[in-house]
Amino acid sequence: MNAERLTLHTDKYQINMMYAHWVQGSLNDKAVFEIYFRKLPFGNGFAVFAGLERVVRYLADLRFGDEELAYLREQEEGYDEAFLALLREFRFTGRLHAVPEGTIVFPNVPLARVEARLFEAHLIETALLNFVNYQTLIATKAARIKLAAPDDILLEFGTRRAQEADAAVWGARAAYIAGFHATSNMRAGMMFGIPTKGTHAHAWVQAHDTEEEAFRKYAEALPDQVTLLVDTYDTLRDGLPDAIKIARMLERQGKRMNGIRLDSGDLAYLSQRAREMLDEEGLNYVKITASNDLDENIIFNLKSQGARIDIWGVGTKLITANDQPSLGGVYKLVAREKEGRYEPVIKISANPDKVTNPGFKEAYRIVSRRTGKAEGDYITLRDEEAVARGERIKLFDPVHPYIHKYVEDYEAIPLLVPVIDGGAQVGGLPRLDAIRDYHAEQFRLFWPQYLRKLNPEQYRVSLSEKAWELKMSLVHRHPGVRRGEGGAATEGGDPPDR
């Protein structure tokens, strides 16, 4: 079985729609889909986009080989042989625009735009959402942890608790983008060039007659990488004194012990006592690592208690996004080819948040030239020129259109950049370290009120007036879709005043 190939990593209904398009002769009609999410995770004020590298690799490798075709042949749908023969030639030939990985992103802003034959665009929905939803979620969780400990070293320790192997390695990568310094996962290190770090487990201590013997043997084996786990028996009575003996032994060899690790008990108290004991011995260079079910809230709390922790090992709660296990990113059709032109399409819903924004669109980050700070994100139809020309624009809240402001003297940064054209990559993707640096740089653009962990201010995301009017006109074209009739609703209702 070729478990590596991800072509059938899709929902069956995508294949069925492909088949129906093939039967009806509409498979080559082009369509435009957008990926976006509606609600920020963890009550955070922003999210961190990740997943693009995997999307690009996936699209480049899409093939139906013998195994996939044999499996499709077995299905109860009874797909025609001519359809299967066509799949053998299948390649992704469309266009992808996306926000660069590491970008700080907000609800309802397109993160990626796929322009492709319906035949291709359907197949890829499931995998694209799978990659982007998970990796963006973990990058966002990691960014929250980073904000709780901006000046400390952060180690990703989650593999053993991750939802299987892919989540472990791609989650480690997402955490690194958001500012973690290293991972314990060696495969993630090998695959992506993430720095790797490791201490030792309780089992190493338990496998020896005494803790001191265990520490000494470890230090003899890896004298330049010694971080000793001191809580197997009694942290302050045994673990610390034993570790101090080893630090002395290493000093006699002209070496310096890296650190100790605390993995249980009151981490504030124990780290303070450990720091005192180490400093009393002149071992102020020995760093203190802590682990044990940490997350941004516990780290923040430990810091407020005066914990003396230099390095945080964070596993389970990061890699599983413990407090919110999924991001609800969606992939929605916004335009379809009809008689050689793109026609905007909408999805109506009784829930105003679920009414889609129709049309082939662009997205910009509007940055004030006066303050250097982002004023909001601005979504336009693709043929609008006002924003590109730097004309005065109106930012208004689509749910409460009377809340608005005019902006001039701004830089409009296009958020969606070309990634794939005609099925081929446009330029190379940035290296991981460049993505991480770009991410860190992004924070400069935002006022702190959007970034705080608790009850952040809501950043403005606006539709242009044209995009808004298009949406209204499509909403009202649907029978029964008026306020008060039939239950379907849309954002606002009245046009924004000019």
Ligand X SMILES: O=P(O)(O)OC[C@H]1O[C@H](OP(=O)(O)OP(=O)(O)O)[C@H](O)[C@@H]1O
Ligand Y SMILES: O=C(O)c1cccnc1
Ligand Z SMILES: Nc1ncnc2c1ncn2[C@@H]1O[C@H](COP(=O)(O)OP(=O)(O)OP(=O)(O)O)[C@@H](O)[C@H]1O
Interaction partner, residue 112 (ligand Y, ligand Z, ligand X, none; CB < 5-8 Å by kind): none
Strand partners, 148: none
Interaction partner, residue 199 (ligand X, ligand Z, ligand Y, none; CB < 5-8 Å by kind): ligand Y
Least distance between ligand Y and beta carbon 290 (Å): 10
Query: Coil, strand, or helix at residue 192?
Result: helix
Nearer to ligand Y, 197 or 471 (CB): 197
Yes or no: say if 156 and 185 are a contact pair by the CB < 8 Å rule.
yes
Least distance between ligand Y and beta carbon 10 (Å): 33
Least distance between ligand Z and beta carbon 277 (Å): 18
CB-side neighbour CA atoms (13 Å) of 268 = 9
**Number of C-beta neighbours around residue 388 at 10 A:** 12
Least distance between ligand Y and beta carbon 216 (Å): 19
Interaction partner, residue 198 (ligand Z, ligand X, ligand Y, none; CB < 5-8 Å by kind): ligand Y
Residue 184 binds to ligand Y (criterion: CB under 6 A): yes
Lookup: tokens for 351: 């829930």
Cα–Cα dist 143/138, whole Å: 8
Which residues 254-313 are close enough to bind ligand X by CB under 6 A? 263, 291-294, 313
Residue with tokens 């791609």: 170
Least distance between ligand Z and beta carbon 381 (Å): 49
Residue 189 binds to ligand Y (criterion: CB under 6 A): no
Which residues 362-381 are close enough to bind ligand Z by CB under 6 A? none
Residue 196 binds to ligand Z (criterion: CB under 6 A): no
Task: Name which of 55, 57, 56, 35 is nearest 47 in CA terms.
Answer: 35
Query: Coil, strand, or helix at residue 227?
Result: strand
Nearer to ligand Y, 156 or 362 (CB): 156
Interaction partner, residue 94 (ligand X, ligand Z, ligand Y, none; CB < 5-8 Å by kind): none
CB-side neighbour CA atoms (13 Å) of 4 = 2
**Number of C-beta neighbours around residue 237 at 10 A:** 9
Buried/exposed code over 279-309 (b: 16+ C-beta within 10 A; e: otherwise): eebebeebbbbbbbebbbebbbebeeeebbb
Cα–Cα dist 222/258, whole Å: 11
Tell me the window of 300-308, 329-337, 435-443, 465-473 that interacts with ligand Z (CB under 6 A).
300-308
Residue 348 binds to ligand X (criterion: CB under 6 A): no
Nearer to ligand X, 319 or 367 (CB): 319
Crossing angle (nearest 10°) for helices 296-304 and 118-148: 10
Lookup: tokens for 257: 């012990």
Please write down the long-range contacts of 298-307, taking CB distance under 8 Å and 24 or more positions apart. Answer: 299/145, 299/148, 299/149, 300/148, 300/453, 302/267, 302/268, 302/271, 303/148, 303/149, 305/268, 306/268, 306/272, 307/267, 307/268, 307/271, 307/272
Residues in the chain: 498
Residue 163 binds to ligand X (criterion: CB under 6 A): no
Strand partners, 214: none
Which residues 120-159 are close enough to bind ligand X by CB under 6 A? 157
Task: Name which of 25, 29, 61 is nearest 423 in CA terms.
Answer: 61
Which residues 282-301 are close enough to bind ligand Y by CB under 6 A? 291
Q: Going residue by residue from 179 to 218, which x/- string records binding to ligand X, judged by CB under 6 A? A: ----------------------------------------
Residue 315 binds to ligand X (criterion: CB under 6 A): yes
Interaction partner, residue 316 (ligand Z, ligand X, ligand Y, none; CB < 5-8 Å by kind): ligand X
Cα–Cα dist 3/153, whole Å: 36
Task: Name which of 57, 59, 65 is nearest 88 in CA terms.
Answer: 65
Nearer to ligand Z, 185 or 232 (CB): 232
Residue 313 binds to ligand Y (criterion: CB under 6 A): yes
Tell me the window of 166-174, 252-260, 301-309, 351-359 that interacts with ligand Z (CB under 6 A).
301-309
Residue 264 binds to ligand Z (criterion: CB under 6 A): yes
Least distance between ligand Z and beta carbon 293 (Å): 3
Residues near ligand Y (CB under 6 A): 157, 184, 198-199, 261, 291, 313, 315
Residues near ligand Z (CB under 6 A): 264-268, 292-294, 298, 301-302, 305
Residues near ligand X (CB under 6 A): 157, 160-161, 263, 291-294, 313-317
